[in-house]
Amino acid sequence: MNYIKQFILAICFYLVLTCQDHVLARDTTTRDIVVPKISEWQVTVANGLTTGETLFIHCKSEENDLGDINLKFLDRFSWNFGENMLHSTLFWCYMSKDDGHMNVKVFWDDVILFHRCDWKNCVWTAKNDGLYLWNSAIGEDVLSEKWESGW
């Protein structure tokens, strides 16, 4: 029984040491305390449509709906968040342009994605043929998803 108490105490001590920044943050929610954030991220979506079209985006996670955004050519939309300790943070976006649309994940728990995003900042650019992710490891945009026809 003594080992169980020591184990529980060790876990509590570990959580206090690793999560204290987030527990004390001004905008902390109950979920942050139960499932602490372990790393900070930024996701950016940019309109690189050279046709001059407006890019419509609607991004969300299970807990956050970022609303409808209309981006003119070269405009960007960014948001910051903390990945939770369970590594279950997921953001996805619906995007549309005059002749195409897509539903696409823009952040999920994946070490390859993290490497491409330099472990802090995922930059997505909508171009005429599809959605590109800036791969900081190789220093160039990489096509991730092609547009589906129609609305």
Residue 100 has phi, psi (to 5 degrees) of: -165, 165
In a domain, 9, yes or no: no
| 3-class secondary-structure state, position 6 | helix
Cα distances from 51 to residues 45, 83, 110, 126, in angstroms, run: 17, 35, 33, 11
Distance of CA 142 to the CA centre of its chain: 17
Residue labelled with tokens 């650019």? 125
pLDDT at 31: 43
pTM of the complete model: 0.74
In a domain, 18, yes or no: no
* CATH at residue 134: 2.60.40.10
User: pLDDT by residue for the chain (151 residues), tens digit each?
Assistant: 676 767 665 554 454 444 433 333 334 444 444 444 567 899 999 999 999 999 999 999 998 999 999 999 999 999 999 887 777 899 999 999 999 999 999 999 999 999 999 999 999 999 999 999 999 999 999 999 999 997 6
In a domain, 8, yes or no: no
pLDDT at 88: 80
Q: Measure the CA–CA gap between 151 and 79, rounded to whole angstroms.
A: 26
136, burial (CB in 10 Å: exposed 0-12, middle 13-18, buried 19+): middle
Residue 28 has phi, psi (to 5 degrees) of: -70, 140
In a domain, 3, yes or no: no
| Domain residue limits at 128 | 39-149
Q: How many domains does the chain have?
A: 1
Could you write out the DSSP letters of every residue in 88-127? ---EEEEEEETTEEEEEEEE-S-HHHHHHTTTTEEEEEEE
